[in-house]
Amino acid sequence: MLEIEIKVKVEDLEPFRTKFLRMGAEILHERHREDNTLYDFRTADLRGRGEAFRLRVRGKKGELTFKGPAQKSRRFKIRPEFETEIRRPKQAAKILKSLGLVPVFRYAKHRTVLKLDRVRICLDETSKGYFLEFEGERHRIAALSRRLGIPSSDWIKKTYVELLKS
């Protein structure tokens, strides 16, 4: 799958949540905590190729995600992404370590997930502030941003790792 997304830093998430619901958004996941661990080889091969491998834990379940190198785009973060759910995150972490992967970065956030006009919307609370994340087709992301009055100059292409390390 190809991931196409942007982030927007905001002062407060609640007005946006209210606005999205008034616009007809569907809540996919209420506010929850996500613990994210990025893995790489000791030689940093994945980072060197612009790739990422993440174990995300939400409650007792998790997801393994591989993200390929970003494609060139002036406005959007675009990269291949493959993801699968896992039932036993602790066992998955042991498998990753057995394969020679080591944790290289950890972060947590609280997230609410909505969907509107085929755009996945995440309301994220991080240690660096509040962010909206829009994922979907470029024209749908751009149209939603316009409806909200968010100029493309406010769009952020950085990953959370990049934002949290800065």
Domain of residue 7 covers 2-165
Residue 166 has pLDDT above 90, yes or no: no
Task: Report pLDDT for 128.
Answer: 96
Query: Each residue of 49-84: pLDDT tens digit?
Result: 999 999 999 999 999 999 999 999 999 999 999 999
Query: Each residue of 15-28: pLDDT tens digit?
Result: 999 999 999 999 99
Place of tokens 């997230």: 111
Cα 143 from Cα 68, distance rounded (Å) = 26
DSSP assignment string, 31-51 = EEEEEEEEEEETT-HHHHTT-
The domain that holds 150 is classified in CATH as 2.40.320.10
Provide the token pair at 21. 């619901």
Q: If DSSP codes are grouped into helix, strand and coil, which group holds residue 132?
A: strand
CA 121 centroid distance within chain = 10
CA distance readout (Å), 145 to 94, 116, 157: 41, 12, 14
How many domains in the chain? 1
